[in-house]
């Protein structure tokens, strides 16, 4: 089994070992309710990743069973159950009455008799869902990113503290941290292979993503929730939604989070620059500064036909490295490369079964905030400080806990049909 850098094993022969035993038995329910060692889980957000994560949980050593699902849309929830049942019929026990839909469906799935909740909804909804799962004492696997704004990150950080008090296991879908090629290379960097890291470069430069057209009869909320990638309050923009992976690697390498950022960006190519369709940018560039003064330069973009590159690079006082596999000119990773999505579920479930403390929530929330800091720096054109933005950054979805499919979403089209886009120099990131 892989040993994740943040995982601390309980020490044998102490009350901690007893706590470990309790933690394990809270998941493996042999002595309790089900009369077996079953790990019962629910999926909230039954799209590509929620369905994929469920299938990957089935492949672990745990005796896992999917018992409830929730999605904003009934058809997505049903189609996920159908696909998973076809894939692994003996691992799915989701009768009609445990298929929930709507924006409050997450509560019903979390309230089901499950031990573990998979949260794979768009990031704007994750803070409320993460908080509710912790409140109900459920173990969590949550996809990245965990929020789209500072109030959301603060809410998640608070819940992470609660989850630690309750000894809940929390896995976050930043799967590079579970891939041996990254783990071994980052360990060598931490051991001094390139000296002190003075600068890093990270990239998610790709061609673009899907667009889900407005359908007849949809409310504005239904349109935005379905087409979530294109609305900032629910997606967080490309830097948050996708580029977070590379920013997180840089934070891992440094063992720190940035203190400030400046940046720039724009959006003229996506959907022909049509602002009646999408609100987000198609390119950003950020310069982050870490507490020791070292720099992180980031490029994130969706520009079809342009240079594509996804990766990371580090410069140290004694050399350079690609943290995904290489200390340049010295060493290259040559071992197995298991799929990160699968490996993170092996690690989570094995930690559960072994009664280990396993909580990735804090770095998940702080890497989410790194991306939000970058986005707000690009939107405003200002140098933004981590502490100030975290404490005063604006709420992109006020009152989100009471949204329904007929509520007006927090961003509405202007009279010409265009959605708000920020103008640097005019946009304020503060509440």
Ligand X SMILES: NC(=O)c1ccc[n+]([C@@H]2O[C@H](COP(=O)([O-])OP(=O)(O)OC[C@H]3O[C@@H](n4cnc5c(N)ncnc54)[C@H](O)[C@@H]3O)[C@@H](O)[C@H]2O)c1
Residue ranges that bind ligand X, judged by CB under 6 A: 44-50, 70-73, 76, 103, 105-106, 120-123, 125, 143-144, 173, 175, 225, 241
Distance CA(185)–CA(216), nearest Å, equals 51
Q: Number of C-alpha atoms within 13 angstroms, CB side, residue 296?
A: 29
Q: Which is nearer to ligand X, 6 or 292 (CB)?
A: 6
Q: Number of C-alpha atoms within 13 angstroms, CB side, residue 142?
A: 35
User: Least distance in Å: CB of 144 to ligand X?
Assistant: 6
Place of tokens 């290259």: 332
Q: Which is nearer to ligand X, 127 or 263 (CB)?
A: 127
With H, G, I as helix, E, B as strand and everything else as coil, classify residue 99: strand
User: Least distance in Å: CB of 148 to ligand X?
Assistant: 10
Q: Which is nearer to ligand X, 37 or 362 (CB)?
A: 362
User: Least distance in Å: CB of 374 to ligand X?
Assistant: 16
Residue 167 region by backbone torsions, left for phi larger than 0, else alpha for psi between -120 and 50, else beta? left
User: Least distance in Å: CB of 106 to ligand X?
Assistant: 5
Alpha-carbon distances, residue 289 vs 54, 178, 210, 369 (angstroms): 38, 26, 33, 14
Q: What is the DSSP string of 327-338?
A: ETTTEE--S---
User: Least distance in Å: CB of 79 to ligand X?
Assistant: 9
Distance CA(406)–CA(400), nearest Å, equals 13
User: Least distance in Å: CB of 196 to ligand X?
Assistant: 30
Distance CA(178)–CA(341), nearest Å, equals 8
User: Least distance in Å: CB of 413 to ligand X?
Assistant: 20
User: Least distance in Å: CB of 167 to ligand X?
Assistant: 25
Contact 10/17 with Cβ under 8 angstroms? yes
Distance CA(286)–CA(375), nearest Å, equals 8
Residues with Cβ within 8 Å of 147's Cβ and at least 6 positions away in sequence, in order, are 123, 124, 126, 127, 153, 155, 156, 236, 365, 368, 369, 372
Q: Which is nearer to ligand X, 119 or 253 (CB)?
A: 119
Q: Which is nearer to ligand X, 73 or 223 (CB)?
A: 73
Place of tokens 């509440």: 431
User: Least distance in Å: CB of 34 to ligand X?
Assistant: 26
Q: Which is nearer to ligand X, 185 or 224 (CB)?
A: 224
Q: Which is nearer to ligand X, 197 or 244 (CB)?
A: 244
Contact 171/116 with Cβ under 8 angstroms? no
Distance CA(268)–CA(244), nearest Å, equals 22
Residue whose beta carbon is closest to ligand X: 47
Residues with Cβ within 8 Å of 87's Cβ and at least 6 positions away in sequence, in order, are 55, 58
Q: Which is nearer to ligand X, 173 or 393 (CB)?
A: 173
Q: How far is CA 190 from the centre of its chain?
A: 24
Q: Which is nearer to ligand X, 229 or 257 (CB)?
A: 229
């Amino acid at each position: 089994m892989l040993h994740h850098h943040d995982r601390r094993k309980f020490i044998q022969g102490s009350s901690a070992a007893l706590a470990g035993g309790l933690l394990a038995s809270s998941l493996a329910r042999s002595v309790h309710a089900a009369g077996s060692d079953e790990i019962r889980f629910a999926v909230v957000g039954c799209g590509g990743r929620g369905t994929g994560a469920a299938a990957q949980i089935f492949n672990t050593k745990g005796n896992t069973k999917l018992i409830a699902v929730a999605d904003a849309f009934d058809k997505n929830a049903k189609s996920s159950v159908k696909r998973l049942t076809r894939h692994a019929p003996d691992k799915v026990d989701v009768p009609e009455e445990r298929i929930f839909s709507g924006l409050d469906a997450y509560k019903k799935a979390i309230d089901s008799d499950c031990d573990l909740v998979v949260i794979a909804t768009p990031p704007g909804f994750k803070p409320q869902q993460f908080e509710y799962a912790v409140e109900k004492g459920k173990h969590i696997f949550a996809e990245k990113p965990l929020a789209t704004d500072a109030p959301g990150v603060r809410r998640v950080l608070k819940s992470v503290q609660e989850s630690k008090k309750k000894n809940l296991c929390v896995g976050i879908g930043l799967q590079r941290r579970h891939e041996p090629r990254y783990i071994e290379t980052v360990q060598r960097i931490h051991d001094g292979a390139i000296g002190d890291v003075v600068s890093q470069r990270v990239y998610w430069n790709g061609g673009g993503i899907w667009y889900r057209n407005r359908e007849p009869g949809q409310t504005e909320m239904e349109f935005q929730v379905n087409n979530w990638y294109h609305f900032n309050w629910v997606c967080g923009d490309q830097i948050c939604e996708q580029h977070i992976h590379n920013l997180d690697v840089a934070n891992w390498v440094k063992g720190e989070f940035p203190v400030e950022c400046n940046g720039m960006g724009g959006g003229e190519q996506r959907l022909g620059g049509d602002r009646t369709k999408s609100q987000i940018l198609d390119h950003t560039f950020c310069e982050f500064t870490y507490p020791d003064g070292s720099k992180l330069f980031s490029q994130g973009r969706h520009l079809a036909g342009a240079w594509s590159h996804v990766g990371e690079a580090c410069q140290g006082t004694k050399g350079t490295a690609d943290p995904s596999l290489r200390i340049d000119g010295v060493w290259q990773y040559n071992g197995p490369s298991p799929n990160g999505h699968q490996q993170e579920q092996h690690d989570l479930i094995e930690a559960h079964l072994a009664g280990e403390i396993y909580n990735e929530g804090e770095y998940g929330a702080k890497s989410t905030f790194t991306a939000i800091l970058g986005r707000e720096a690009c939107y405003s054109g200002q140098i933004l400080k981590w502490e100030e933005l975290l404490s005063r950054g604006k709420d992109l979805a006020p009152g989100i806990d009471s949204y329904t499919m007929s509520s007006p979403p927090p961003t509405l089209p202007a009279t010409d049909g265009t959605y708000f886009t920020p103008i640097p120099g005019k946009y304020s990131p503060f509440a």
